[in-house]
Structure 1
């Protein structure tokens, strides 16, 4: 199993949150640092990690490493 580390930010346009291009990071610390920097300039940002198996295509549980600001409902598998 490998682990992907992703930072996803959101920009506010009017009353809508627009998904920015996700950023892949090399480790959890980098993802948290980048999310922390984006927190000051974006409406919302999350840093996540998720294990995956390249051979089978299976994904493990998604883990939230950092979460700042407004995040769209369902963006990280929750409904709030």
Structure 2
């Protein structure tokens, strides 16, 4: 069974740079982007991404960035 997960990952500023907080799962891409846009008002930055794959087999494609708001780690750029 193939599934797609939609995740909103907020970042906060820390002494050594940006620190990821706990990801928030959304029901779809539109909802994920809305949540990300809202969180960006109070967080240093937000990445919204999707990841598809088969959880039964443990096989997943690379994450696809749907949106970025504010400051995000350079490895994501």
TM-score normalized with structure 2 length? 0.88
Residue 48 in structure 1 maps to residue 49 in structure 2: yes
Runs of at least 4 residues of structure 1 off by over 6 A?
Answer: none
Where 1:21 maps in the other structure, the secondary structure is coil
User: Structure 1 residues 15, 54: CA separation in 2 closer, same or farther (over 3 Å shift)?
Assistant: closer
Question: Structure 1 residue 13: deviation in Å?
Answer: 2.4
> More helix per residue: 1 or 2?
2
Q: Which runs of 5+ in 1 are unaligned?
A: none
Matching residue of 1:17: 18
Partner of 1:2: 3
Aligned-residue Cα RMSD (Å) equals 1.4
Paired residues in the alignment total 76
1:9 match: secondary structure: strand
Q: TM-score, normalised by structure 1?
A: 0.85
